[in-house]
Amino acid sequence: MKQSIRVRFTMIFIGLIAAILVGIWCVNTWMLEGFYINQKVDALQLGYAEMDELVMEKWEAGESINDEFDTDSLGEEVQTPAIELLRKLSDQYNITILIIDSFSNTPIVASTRDVKFMMDRVFQYMIGRNNPKTELILEQENYTIQKTFDVRSQSFYLESWGYYSDNRTIFIMSIPLASIRESVQLSNRFLAYAGIAALILGSIVVYFTTQKVTSPILQLAGISERMTHLDFEAKYQGNAQDEIGVLGTSVNTLSDKLKETIGELKSANNQLLKDIEEKKQIDEMRQEFIGNVSHELKTPIALIQGYAEGLTEGMAEDKESRDYYCEVIMDEANKMNTMVRQLLTLNALESGNDTVTMERFDLVELIKGVLGAAKILIEQKQANIVFHADHPVYVWADEFKIEEVVTNYVSNALNHLDGERMIHIIIEEAGETAKVVVRNTGMAIPEEALPNVWTKFYKVDKARTRAYGGSGIGLSIVKAIMDSHHKECGVQNVKDGVEFWFTVDSQS
């Protein structure tokens, strides 16, 4: 990975630690000495205040501060407040002090062996003779604090000199400043060594410990990569309760939502494709329907128009000719009327506008009624009808529509009779279903044409269909009626003929 998070975290840590070390170095170099001097100034002020208090106590008691010091040397164990204060200033603050009696110009106590030099130095200050490199730090009523350069040691000192409040006792206190500079240098050097070691060790620790943070992030990155390829099976397995854990839970939820949504989109897309295909089929069926209707109506309209023109032009002068012309016109008009009514019926069935009225009736009586209505046509076709039923068969269906199915089957059988000219009508009962079979002798239907007999305007033998005035819609109406009943119908070739059948619910 070009920009690893672990490397970035490590580099940030290195930069941060380096900045902190540089900052500390700068503070040590430029601010520590000033802070140190301020602390020493406070120490000098504190030493003056405490010693001045002791001097004033002795002065108010009519005594001298000399009584506090038994000897000129600080080596003896003298337990007076003044001696304890001198030790405190010397040990704790590294302050060298010299106290002088101004009346006798003799030292009262000194914490340094170079007493004469110190006495000369304070007297020089009192008469206003200061070193050119002297820098005034603080000036009070009885004392002054200043930064002085010592020619002998070639170093700077912080000094406080003046009188105590009894206006008799002179003092000078001195603190060397060379030690602080050396301390700063040593501190910076140690800081550099310790900082580099801490930086290296810390970088190694950070680099390896960040794996705990980067590992779940890399896992989430892998999951998101798989999600881009529509693979939603990968899930974040971490159980941490931190921000990464919340992110992992959100990624899992997002994966499930995307999987569900994409599934819905695919289903919707499949349904849309199906609807588009159905629309294309409907458009094709509509165009085919219009073409078929136009074709079916073209012949009777042409005949009607031709014979009507013949009558108009006086081609049928005698009554017999006129009657023939009128009969042809009426016959073709009846065919057109029948076809239109069948189309309206079929359209109502296919669109679902013609509701099915379920009722209980005797199927045997219905078939007998259809045969009785077709008696004249049966005689004209010289057909032999065989129908035996020794008991009523009650069924549940729409009686009017089932009558139309039986009528279409019988009419279709009559129009395709041949050979022995026999029509067998059979009712087969099987449990809660009754099957009606209409079988006629004649020519078989080509096997490849069997599935198409239910299609609108399909005609196996167009010349023969035209001869008896068929439109190719009757069997389509049968199929639509049976679909509205959610029942089956079918056709098959049998020995010496063709057999059509349908089923309905029976009631014993």
C-alpha distances in Å from residue 103, one per residue of 41, 129, 310, 425, 480: 28, 21, 171, 161, 143
Of 127, 154, 185, the last residue of a domain is 185
226 located within any domain: no
> What is the model's pTM?
0.42
The last residue of one of the domains, among 161, 185, 209, is: 185
Q: Is residue 245 part of a domain?
A: no
Count of beta carbons in the 10 Å neighbourhood of residue 429:
14
Contact 502, 388 (CB under 8 A): no
**How many domains are there within the chain?**
2
Give dist(CA 101, CA 413) in Å, integer. Answer: 157
Q: 93-112 in b/e burial notation, b at 16+ Cβ within 10 A? A: bebbbbbbeeeeeebbbbbe
pLDDT tens-digit series, residues 372-424: 888 888 888 899 999 988 889 999 998 888 888 998 899 889 988 888 899 99
Is 32 domain-assigned? no
**pLDDT of 74:** 44
Helices H / strands E in the chain, number of each: 13, 13
Q: Say which amino acid occupies 3.
A: Q
Residue 203 lies in a domain: no
Provide φ and ψ at 141, rounded to 5°. Answer: -65, -45
Residue 86, pLDDT score: 85
Q: Which of 128, 156, 185 is the last residue of a domain?
A: 185
The answer to whether position 248 is within a domain reads no
The predicted pLDDT at position 361 comes to 92
Residue with tokens 């295909």: 277
Q: Domain holding 435: CATH number?
A: 3.30.565.10
190, part of any domain:
no
pLDDT at 59: 85
pLDDT by 10s per residue, the chain, length 508: 455 676 777 788 788 888 888 888 787 777 777 788 888 899 999 999 999 998 888 888 877 777 777 544 444 555 788 888 888 888 888 889 999 988 888 888 888 888 888 888 888 888 888 777 788 889 888 999 998 888 777 788 889 999 998 888 999 999 887 666 677 777 778 878 887 888 788 778 877 777 777 777 777 777 787 778 777 777 777 776 677 777 777 877 887 888 788 888 888 888 898 888 888 877 776 666 666 566 556 666 777 777 787 777 777 677 777 777 787 778 777 767 766 666 666 666 666 666 778 899 999 999 999 898 888 888 888 999 999 888 899 999 988 888 889 988 998 899 888 888 999 999 998 888 999 999 999 888 888 888 888 887 676 655 444 444 455 677 888 888 888 888 999 999 998 899 999 999 987 5
Residue partners of 403: CB distance under 8 A and separation at least 6: 366, 369, 370
Look at residue 145 in the predicted model and tell me its pLDDT: 93
Determine, yes or no, domain membership for 199: no
Domain residues for 405?
Answer: 355-506
Euclidean distance between CA atoms 270 and 181, whole angstroms: 85
In a 3-state reduction of DSSP, which class is residue 435?
strand
In this predicted model, what pLDDT tens digit does every residue of 78-121 receive, in sequence order? 578 888 888 888 888 888 999 998 888 888 888 888 888 888 88
- Look at residue 310 and tell me if it is in a domain: no
Closest CA to 36 of 147, 199, 163, 192: 147
Q: What is the pLDDT of residue 348?
A: 64
Residue-level length of the chain = 508
Q: Work out the angle at residue 171's Cα, subtended by the Cα atoms of residues 165 and 172, and round it to the nearest 5 degrees.
A: 135
Q: What is the pLDDT of residue 471?
A: 57
Amino acid 344: pLDDT: 67
